[in-house]
Structures are given as structure tokens and as C-alpha cells.
Amino acid sequence: MYLTTIMGIPLATAAKNVNSWNGVSSLALFIGAFFADSYLGRFKTTLLSSSVFLMGLILLTTSTATKIPQNIRTPLFFSALYITALGEGGHKPCVQTFAADQFDENTPEQRKAKSSFFNWWYLGIVVGATIAVVIIVYVEDNVSWTVGFSIPTIAVGLALAVFIFGCLTYRMERPVGSPFTKVAQVVVAAVRKRHVVETSNGRGLCYDDDVSHGLDARKLARTNQFRCLDKAMIIDERDSLMKSRNPWRLCSVNQVEEVKLIVRLIPIWVCTFAYAIIVAQVHTFFIKQASTMQRSLGPKVSIPPASLQVIPGITILISVPIYDKLFVPSMRNITKIPSGISSLHRIGIGLGLSILTIAIAALVENMRVGVASKHGLINDPKAIVPMSVGWLVPQFVVMGLSDMFAYVGMQELFYDQMPEDMRSMGSALTNGAIGVGAFMSSAIIVTVQEMSKKWGEEWLVNDLNRAHLDEFYWVLAGFCALDLVIYVLAAKWFVWKNTTQVDQIVIC
């Protein structure tokens, strides 16, 4: 809304700008996660990145001041946005993972508590987001954008102070060096020994105790998937003659199994991109739909379009306690799984709900255009269609349910199934999927614009009454339905991590 109303940027371009920023912001998480897992540790990375995040918000607030010339305001605004993206890159993947590290996985009660933690963690995020889209959006629309942006700036400053205040109580982990080096070593060693056979010219397997003794260090059981990588753990004649192990020729069983964990997660991660594409519509075209509809609550009160984003938040605020206190315990008695249902099932349900979300949006948009046509408003881009914005509520509600299942399920899966010294990277995968989905949404917009232009007229024009937004939504629904089929196949193929504590293992 700031881009289209204040800066005067066209609708499609503004949507691409929003998606691009969301994409860069999410993909920056991989950089932050890499430094956290490899060099700085999660506590230091959170501290440093939160400071950068705060600096970006200060600049963002400054850029909206009316006294700043336009030739300075625009570059300052976008620079501030991407500085906040850089700060988020270290903050998002580390603070959640660092919090989850405070639980002791060796205690059954703590394992159950950790399962609930992800639900309540996301609930906390939703509380903040709900306050933002109710209070801050109202302030931005009715007071000023500068005051509106200053509120989250103050909030982040206070949050950073609270985080520092608790530093003496935390369980700390130590960085273990670049995890990508370990992955590369397994691949290189497996290629070098591609002709070695374990049963004929092999001389046993490498069981070197290379597990980093962190908070909950564990050994991984050997699995049968990706047997080509097993070559890296076979001791051949050359290895047996060496005085010390060459990590680029011989890797331990545990190291190879850690790489297998990562490879297994890749298909699941890719399948979450479609869900992320639907998420991108909530912050762009869903809001633009609302801006063309009747939003009055009385003679003097009008709902800001962006405030509709509070609906998924309210849905989550209501559904998470019900899910955690009623659904999980009842399912736990049936499935014997601490979280009630597996994270893979939870993600699958979320993907299905995201398809339902975009299908409802398409039907409502078709209805909205019909009302606009009936009242002769098709050629009036600034007209308010005589149709209540309440018709958009169902798609926002179902999207909130989709988030509760898919997003939280992704958090659980990528934290639990990643190697323990790469858990920040696992958290980055969750939010990185949202970033990739935002980029894919931009790419789909460009593709649809080009193809529809060849067919006759562009689908996504500034006048939403003349746009073919409903047809665009149906294209997304078809794409997501195909993705869900692929996801089910990938989930059936998935093998869960099987671990044993280090101190219970006898090293051969």
C-alpha cells in the first residue's frame, strides 16, 4: 500500500517489489544460519543481527519523513528495507533454534515440551503480527507512516534489551566449523571410491567418533538409502596404510548419515514452495482485492485493507490452543507420537488447505468482478465495488489454518531432522522456502503477464475490475494441486532420523 499510494508505483511492479524483498529477506537466512552454525554460534549471531535489524528499522522510519527530498527518500527507503532483510537473515533462523536448544531432548518431559514449543512460538509470532496489522496499519493509514514505522522500531529495541538481559541463563552451544565442508568431504570421498565394494575389496567401515559433543550429541543409525554415499565410509587398502585419516578420502558412518539427512529433506523442502507462493498472495493481491470493496464499519470507521491480515492471526490465536490442548493429546494416545501427528502429515494438511485458500479466493474474485460489471464499474479503477469485504474473510481464515499446519510442521521437521550442528540451517530452510515462493510468485506474475499479452490483454492490470485475477488464482491452484501429489510421494519415500546417544555407543 505504501508503494502504490505514497510512491505511486504500478500494481504489478509493486507486487514484484514486495515479493523480491520477501525473497531476499528469506534467502538471507541461509547466510545468517551458515555463520551461526559454523563460526559465531546462535547467541552471538542473534545479538549481532538484531542490532543490524534495529539499524535498518531506524533508517526505514527516517526515510518516510516528509521533509526528505524524493531523490533521497526512494533510495534510502529501499536501502533500509534491505538492511532489515540482512538483519532478519541472522535473527530469524537463530533465535528460534537457540530457544529450542534450551530443551533437553534426553528427558521425555522436555521432548513433549519441545513439541508444544513450536506451536506456542508461532503463536507468539502471530500475536506480534496481529498487533502490527491492527494497530500499526491503522496508524499508518490515519496518522502517519513515520509514526507507524517507529512502533516496530521501538519494539525491536526493547526485544533486544530483554534478550541481552537473559544472557546469563541460556544453554550455549559452540560452533563446529563449516557444515558444508563435511558435506563436500562425503561427496568427494564417495566419488573417489566409486569402484570400491564393501564386501569384496573393503576393509571395514570407519566408525571414528567425530560427533561434536554439544548439548545433545547423538550418533545416527545406518540407513539403506543413497547407498552410493556409503562408499565414503569404506576403508580401502590405501586408507588402511595411512597413519591418520584423510577426511577427503574417508568419512565416518555418522558423517555420511548426516549428509543423507540433508538429501532426504530436499524433496520435501522443494514441495513447500507451492504453499509459499500462496502465502505471497496474502500480502499482495488479497490486500488489493480488499482495497476495492466496501470496508466501512460505520459512518466514520473504515477498515484499512492491510488490516485483513489480522484474520489469519486471529484464526491461529484461536486454533493453536485447541490444537495443542485437545487435538495433540487425543492423537498422541492413538499414534504414540509426542506431537500427535508427524510433521510430514502436518505439512501435507497445510498444503491441502493452501489449495483450498486460493480456490476460495478465485471464486470470490469472480463474484466481485460480476458485481462490478453489474453496476457499470468495470472501467472505473478507483470505484468501490458495492460488495462487503467480509466475503474475503473465508480465504484469510483458511490461510491461517494452512499456516498453523504447514509452517509449524516445517519448523518441526527441519529442526528435528537436520544434523544437530546444522539446526540453524534447518530453521533457515523453513523461512527460505517462503523466500523462494515469493521469487516464484514474481516469476509467475511475469510469465502470466507475457503470455496473456500475447493472447490479447494482460491479466494483471492496475484496474482490478478489468484484470483476470480469478484466472490467475486458478493457475496457482492447479500448480499447487500438482505439487501436493508430488509431496505425498516424497513423504512416503522419506526415512526418519534414528539416533543413539553418544555415551551409549561402543566405537569399533
**What's 246-259 look like in SS3?**
CCCCCCCHHHHHHH
CATH class as words, domain 17-174+272-500: mainly alpha
Q: What pLDDT is stored for residue 396 in this prediction?
A: 93
Per-residue pLDDT, 489: 94
- Which parts of 323-387 fold into alpha helices (H)? 328-335, 343-374
pLDDT tens, 452-461? Answer: 888 777 787 7
Q: How confident is the model over 8-29, as pLDDT tens digits?
A: 888 778 877 887 887 787 778 7
The pLDDT of residue 217: 53
Residue with the three cell numbers 533462523: 93
Is the C-alpha dihedral spanning 31, 33, 38, 43 positive or negative? Answer: positive
Quick one: pLDDT at residue 125? 83
In 3D, which of 420, 418, 438, 440 has the Cα closest to residue 429?
418
Q: How many CB atoms lie within 10 A of CB 342?
A: 17
Q: Give the domain ranges of the chain.
A: 17-174+272-500, 179-258
Q: Summarize pLDDT for 113-163 with one digit per residue, the tens.
A: 776 787 788 788 888 888 887 788 888 888 888 899 999 999 999 999 999
Position 503 scores a pLDDT of 44
How does the average pLDDT of the chain come out, rounded?
83
Q: In the prediction, which pLDDT does 507 show?
A: 34
Q: Report the distance separating Cα 157 and Cα 106, nearest Å.
A: 35
Strand, coil or helix: 293 = strand
- Grid cell in block for residue 411: 519448523
> Whole-prediction pTM value?
0.73
Burial (Cβ within 10 Å: 0-12, 13-18, ≥19) of residue 492 = exposed
Instruction: Count CB neighbours of 255 within 10 A.
Output: 25
Q: Give the model's confidence band at 200: pLDDT under 50 very low, under 70 low, under 90 confident, else very high.
A: low
How far is it, in rounded angstroms, from Cα 192 to Cα 239? 12
The pLDDT tens digits for 347-357 are 999 999 999 99
Report which of residues 237 and 212 the model is more confident about: 237
Among 404, 444, 233, CA closest to 324: 404
- At what angle are helices 310-322 and 108-131 packed, to 10 degrees? 160
Band of residue 290 on the pLDDT scale cut at 50, 70, 90: confident
The more confidently predicted of residues 392 and 466 is: 392
Residue 240 has a pLDDT of: 81
Q: What is the distance between the alpha carbons of residues 334 and 338, in angstroms, rounded to a whole number?
A: 11
